[in-house]
Amino acid sequence: MKIEGDVVVLGGGPGGYVAAIVAAKNGLNTVLVEKDNLGGTCLNRGCIPTKALVRSSEVYELVKESEDFGIFNESPSFDFTKIMERKDNIVKELVAGIEYLVSKNKITLLRGVGDILDKNTVVVKEGKDEGATVSAKNIIIATGSKPFIPPIKGARESKNVYTSDEMLSLKELPKDIVIVGSGVIGMEFAFICSALEVDVTVIGSSDNILANMDGDVIKEITRISKRKKIKLITGARVEEIIDTDDGKVTVGFQRKGKEETVTADKVLMATGRSPNFSDIDLEKLGLELSDRRGIKVNSRLQTTVDNIYAIGDVTNINQLAHVASYQGEVAVANIVGEDVEADYSVVPGAIFTTPEIAAVGPTEEAAKEQGLDISTGKFLFASNGKALTYGERRGLVKVIADKATGVILGGHIIGPHASDLIHEITVAIKNKLTADQIADTIHAHPTTAETVLEAAMATTPKGAIHSA
């Protein structure tokens, strides 16, 4: 089978399928090549399934605490099989939705791995449409990333070491687990497992968990983690993983010059993800790697071959699904001649621990390191009416503003609805709004959004109203 098109997209994740849809809407004859389910890692093995598990674990915790709300349930329990089935059904529904959009936009979908023969030719291998050849004016590489396992002795050989992929396919929960890595993936799974009554130990190399977050957020999430009996081992280097004779696994690590061990049923390697371009002969095509060890692109998402673009995790610029989708739109805009440059200056991020964490812009520490003269404002969820009705007293909103102008520079939230609330601050930063402009905007009551209003007011000489 031979197909001619204007653009062929390799990979159907949040970058690839969005690029394909946008290209089709721009009148381009578009081909999408995907070996697995549409939606990529985010939908099938990342963002969505983990959030489904987060929600189930939150509901279970809420049921156990229902007496606080005047609701009695003497013996709360959960069925892990049904939890996983619910997760799978959500994924299937969303995958079907993307398949419908691809079909509706008349995109040719080929199943298999796309092998780039030259700058205008892709051949499909290892799949249903193996042998199909696509000739296209432009190619977009959106092949994503894969779990990274560091060179720790025994890590690859152990039968008890999982990545996030295997964790999302569990048939039953382990009694206890060691999570290597205290970043986003590690801490999300730590909270999921802990809520579902797994004994959790987190080992991180940094001195703090979620080390890139604002200091106030780190302090709060550390306190909450300890209250949930998540054991935190920070400033440690894992050196060896050994399967024991009784079917368990021992993790050996060094901390403060001392050798220590911890034993559990399973180990989760939550040590990040690496760009996935193993099926692409970069040298043959003349594609270069960046300092980030991803495929090198310019601000228009062009690689070193001008009609080949790369987007998403494979560029290793910012491994977020929403960044991949944005890059897909930018790449297509340039393909159709609009001359658009990607701007990563204002990118919100969310972490789905319990409670949620969200951030945009510099932390207070980073702002000071940059020499910025700032004012900060904080407001606690414990002083917010809507949060209290939900039984949520934990967390805070922190706003960072330029001291002289009042222009909002950053925002950091830990608490209920953090992943939704962050966007008010994101819009403010993007449009250079001031704290006074947020303060002058009427916010509905009672809502958790009032915490953003109060935190913004707290950066001004007037201060917050509902805070002493």
DSSP for residue 235? S
Query: What per-residue confidence (pLDDT) applies to 76?
Result: 95
Residue 361 has pLDDT above 80, yes or no: yes
Q: Which CATH class is domain 161-271?
A: alpha beta
Interior angle at CA 377, CA 371 and CA 382, nearest 5: 145
- 405: three-class secondary structure by DSSP: coil
Contact 319, 145 (CB under 8 A): yes
Q: Report which of 423, 278, 455, 417 is spatially closest to residue 348, judged by C-alpha positions.
A: 423
Residue 292 has pLDDT above 90, yes or no: no
Distance CA 155, CA 363 (A): 34
DSSP for residue 315? G
Residue 332 has pLDDT above 80, yes or no: yes
% of the chain exceeding 90 in pLDDT: 97
Q: Which CATH class is domain 349-458?
A: alpha beta
**DSSP states of 250-274 as a string?**
EEEEEETTEEEEEEESEEEE---EE
With bands split at pLDDT 50, 70 and 90, how would you rate the model's confidence at 442?
A: very high
Proportion of the chain in helix, strand, coil states, percent, rounded to 5? 35, 25, 40
- In this prediction, residues 101-115 reach a mean pLDDT of 96
With bands split at pLDDT 50, 70 and 90, how would you rate the model's confidence at 207?
A: very high
With bands split at pLDDT 50, 70 and 90, how would you rate the model's confidence at 310?
A: very high
* pLDDT per position as a tens digit, 147-177: 999 999 999 999 999 999 999 999 999 999 9
Distance CA 185, CA 351 (A): 9
Query: What per-residue confidence (pLDDT) applies to 274?
Result: 95
With bands split at pLDDT 50, 70 and 90, how would you rate the model's confidence at 467?
A: confident
Residue 304 has pLDDT above 80, yes or no: yes
Contact 51, 354 (CB under 8 A): no
Alpha carbon separation from 207 to 179, 215, 234 (Å, rounded): 16, 12, 5
- In this prediction, residues 10-35 reach a mean pLDDT of 97
Mean pLDDT estimate for the chain: 96
Query: What per-residue confidence (pLDDT) applies to 131?
Result: 93
Query: What per-residue confidence (pLDDT) applies to 78?
Result: 97
Query: What per-residue confidence (pLDDT) applies to 1?
Result: 84
* pLDDT per position as a tens digit, 191-200: 999 999 999 9
The domain 2-147+274-335 having CATH identifier 3.30.9.10: the answer here is: no
Residue 126 has pLDDT above 90, yes or no: no
- In this prediction, residues 223-233 reach a mean pLDDT of 97
* Same fold flag, 2-147+274-335 and 349-458: no
Query: What per-residue confidence (pLDDT) applies to 401?
Result: 98
Exposure string (b/e) for 419-428, b if CB count within 10 Å is 16 or more?
Answer: bebbebbbeb
Give the pair of three-digit tokens for residue 354.
């319990």
Residue 468 has pLDDT above 80, yes or no: no
With bands split at pLDDT 50, 70 and 90, how would you rate the model's confidence at 358?
A: very high
Query: What per-residue confidence (pLDDT) applies to 119?
Result: 94
Q: Report which of 164, 193, 199 is spatially closest to residue 181, judged by C-alpha positions.
A: 164
Domain ranges of the chain: 2-147+274-335, 161-271, 349-458
169, with CB counted inside 10 A (0-12, 13-18, 19+), is: exposed
Q: Report which of 296, 330, 341, 331 is spatially closest to residue 314, judged by C-alpha positions.
A: 296
Q: Work out whether strand 308-310 and strand 133-141 pair parallel, antiparallel, or are unpaired.
A: parallel
- 327: three-class secondary structure by DSSP: helix
Distance CA 187, CA 219 (A): 14
Query: What per-residue confidence (pLDDT) applies to 320?
Result: 96
CB atoms within 10 A of CB 314: 27
Query: Looking at the annotation, which residues are catalytic?
Result: 445
Residue 106 has pLDDT above 90, yes or no: yes
- In this prediction, residues 218-234 reach a mean pLDDT of 98
* pLDDT per position as a tens digit, 36-82: 999 999 999 999 999 999 999 999 999 999 999 999 998 999 999 99
